[in-house]
Amino acid sequence: MSDKSRVVVVTGLSGAGKSTALHALEDLGYFCVDNLPTSLVPQTIEVCEAGGIRRVGLGIDVRAFAFLDGAGPTLSRIAEGRDMAVVFLDATDEALLRRFNETRRPHPLSAAASRAPGSSGGLAVLDGVHLERERLAPLRALATIDLDTTRLSVHELRRQIIAHLGPGKAEAPRMSTRFVSFGFKFGVPVDADLIFDVRFLDNPHFVPELRRLPGSHPAVRDFVLQSPEASELLEKIGALLEFSLPRYEREGKSYLTIGIGCTGGRHRSVALAEVLADNLRRKVTLPISVVHRDVGRAEHTAAPEHDADPLSRGADEGAEGAPRPPDGGRGKT
């Protein structure tokens, strides 16, 4: 790998995907600056390098008139002693008009024209596109990567940027997958993309010798997994994840959070999350981690007042030891 700093300049037509391209560069570890005053571009790169930042992405658009007038010399100065790429993004007039209509934002040149002294109004969007294409022609001539985004979704454009500028498929950032065990009585994880409810499985809470052990303990895990329902559940969830995870990654997700929930988050969800993660690690090459959100809560670790028979205890208390109301929960809701 080269010791030179890597600088990527992203430019092109407004609405062609510059922000998406810069976000993709950020995912690749670039420090990105958009719409920086062009007189500060060389100094900004030097400051980044002095701070140990070796990959910099710069967004330049048509509003940077001074940059466009001296594009060649400025890029030549930036390129001295560095690896540099210039990405130019374009799309058809029809595609750009549609995107402006969808966002309901004015074209940058139209907004600038409306603020000019003596102006009677801004340019039409199509006129702004034509003028912008004309002004960017000198910069386009310097591009090392020219992409037409007319038929690309944001995810496809991201993949194109990574394919052109990433470290290679074998080293490209992979989607991070995280299993989170939790208790429904403490609330579902707000960042979960998928949630599986495992409360129908046999509950170790009602086995006195297992009640105070976590779901990661072999005795608790064996108890939870002994039923045919648990085996079938693991098989079905595993098949779903094995099918869907590569497709989530293909669509551009950087991380996926999978919630596994039981009543209190101490036994069943912990055991299932551990086994699912272990099984998945053998089938996919994604980075996989496990977090047990509620296993250490004080409600679980406090010593019980007595070790009542689980059946008599269950008559007086709900699952995971939650007290039942005097009417057994059949009264008001």
Point out the annotated binding site.
12-19, 61-64
Alpha carbon of residue 124 to chain centroid:
36
Which helix (H) or strand (E) segment is 275 a member of? helix 268-281
AA letter at 136: L
Contact in structure between 254 and 176 (CB atoms under 8 Å): yes
Point out the annotated binding site for GTP.
61-64
Long-range contacts of the stretch 104-108 (C-beta < 8 A, 24+): 107/14, 107/132, 108/14, 108/61, 108/62, 108/63, 108/132
Residue 254 DSSP class: S
Contact in structure between 273 and 260 (CB atoms under 8 Å): yes
If you count them, how many residues does the chain have?
333
Point out the annotated binding site for ATP.
12-19
Query: Which residue in the block uniquely carries the two structure tokens 């290679």?
Result: 168
Q: How far apart are CA 30 and CA 24, in angstroms?
A: 9
Query: Which residue in the block uniquely carries the two structure tokens 């105070």?
Result: 212
Of 314, 174, 195, 332, residue with least CA distance to 255: 174
Residue 317 DSSP class: B
Q: How far apart are CA 261 and CA 179, in angstroms?
A: 10
Q: How far apart are CA 28 and CA 40, in angstroms?
A: 24
Q: How far apart are CA 294 and CA 182, in angstroms?
A: 5
- Beta-carbon contacts of 319 under 8 Å, excluding residues fewer than 6 positions away, are 199, 203, 205, 263, 264
Euclidean distance between the first and final Cα of the chain, in Å?
65
